[in-house]
């Protein structure tokens, strides 16, 4: 027996979490030192990418499965997803190529291993995170966007071809297989994005699908204390995981968090649904793809100021105090948050309108939810 359709809705608290997690991933990539380095949970912030995969599986299944099963166009679904992710990805890739020419002009060095011109076509085709390369290239966080697009294809053209009663066991099999492959063959476990990014994404995305099925049958009736408990569980998990086998539990831990916060029953959810939380959620994709070019810009600015030499990667080591690292982190976040609304308004939204199928009528709630994912 399967659960019937439920009224479509926007999970605003989860949108807020998406924005917060995008900021934490950006800070983790920046890594200039400061007091954040002393927080064990922060050192595993790279795992918030797995939260994005789980959340994507949850929202995409919730918003699209019924419609596609009822005869909705797979092509329209995929075209909308492409229009959602590709324009900003292509724009930020162009920015980083321009930055690399600037670095060459300033320092006279050739393109480094992680930013080879020959990798640009694969990046443009969103194939760069699927294991064809042994490195993360150009806009390095975008490996997960490559995996996301591949998962949309698998979901729409393969997974949904199975009868609905078979999908839960099929999703369980995909999650289990992906985690076993990562556990057996990745020396860095969930941190091994270069080679095992697709398996990592599949584990999270189809965990999100399973959470959506559970949520349909048993929506949570939780409040503040449940939200606090789950937040502490996530923090404790991050504090002990790192690049160890414990990190394999990331899809399950984040799946629980998505299930609880989808209920939006506590004060933390109300805070995430406030104006700033909703703005962070709207800007989250821009935050995620903009922050790497901003990091490169910081390195270029430092080298211009200091002249040739090693780049600053840890402010405490370079300047002797973690407080300066904190200040630089705040400057970095401020710059990312200043740019993200601009790219959201002038790249994401126009790109989506340009590439997505044109509507013949006003969108219903399901379409609006799908576009927000």
CB-based contacts of 150, cutoff 8 Å, min separation 6 = 126, 129, 130, 198, 201
List, as one string, the DSSP characters of 61-85. Answer: HHHHHHHHHTT--HHHHHHHHHHHH
Ranges of each domain in the chain: 12-372
> For residue 82, what pLDDT is reported?
95
Structure tokens at 266: 């506590």
Rg (Cα) of the chain, in Å, rounded? Answer: 21
State residue 372's pLDDT score: 47
Handedness of CA 340, 344, 345, 351 (dihedral sign): positive
pTM of the full structure: 0.89
Instruction: Give the model confidence (pLDDT) of 226-255 as tens digits.
Output: 999 999 999 999 999 988 999 999 999 999
**Which residue, among 15, 22, 63, has the nearest Cα to 46 in the 3D structure?**
22
Residues with pLDDT less than 50, the chain: 1-5, 308-310, 312, 314-317, 360-372
């Amino acid at each position: 027996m399967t659960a019937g359709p439920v009224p479509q809705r926007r999970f605003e608290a989860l949108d807020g979490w998406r924005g917060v997690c995008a900021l934490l991933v950006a800070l983790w990539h920046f890594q200039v030192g400061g007091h954040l380095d002393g927080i064990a949970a922060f050192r595993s912030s790279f795992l918030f990418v797995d939260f994005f995969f789980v959340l994507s599986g949850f929202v995409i299944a919730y918003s699209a499965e019924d419609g596609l099963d009822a005869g909705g166009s797979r092509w329209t679904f995929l075209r909308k997803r492409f229009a959602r992710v590709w324009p900003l990805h292509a724009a930020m890739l162009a920015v980083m190529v321009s930055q690399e020419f600037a670095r060459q002009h300033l320092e006279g060095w050739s393109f480094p291993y992680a930013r080879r011109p020959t990798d640009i076509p694969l990046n443009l085709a969103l194939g760069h995170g699927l294991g064809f390369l042994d490195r993360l290239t150009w806009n390095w966080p975008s490996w997960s966007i490559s995996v996301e697009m591949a998962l949309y294809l698998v979901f729409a053209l393969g997974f949904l071809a199975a009868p609905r009663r078979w999908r839960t066991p099929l999703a369980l099999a995909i999650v289990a297989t992906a985690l076993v492959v990562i556990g057996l063959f990745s020396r860095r476990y969930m941190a091994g994005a270069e080679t095992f990014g697709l398996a990592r994404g599949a584990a999270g995305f189809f965990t999100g699908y399973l959470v959506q099925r559970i949520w349909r049958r048993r929506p949570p009736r939780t409040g503040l204390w449940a939200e606090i408990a789950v937040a502490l569980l996530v923090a404790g998990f991050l504090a002990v995981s790192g690049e160890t086998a414990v990190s394999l539990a990331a899809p399950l831990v984040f799946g629980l968090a998505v299930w609880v916060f989808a209920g939006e029953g506590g004060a933390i959810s109300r805070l995430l649904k406030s104006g700033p939380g909703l703005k962070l959620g709207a800007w989250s994709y821009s935050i995620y793809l903009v922050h790497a070019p901003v990091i490169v810009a910081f390195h270029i600015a430092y080298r211009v100021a200091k002249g040739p030499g090693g780049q600053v990667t840890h402010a405490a080591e370079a300047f002797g105090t973690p407080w300066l690292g904190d200040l630089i982190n705040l400057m970095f976040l401020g710059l990312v948050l200043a740019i993200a609304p601009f790219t959201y308004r002038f790249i994401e939204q126009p790109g989506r309108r340009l590439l997505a199928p044109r509507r013949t009528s006003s969108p219903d709630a399901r379409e609006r939810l799908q576009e927000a994912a």
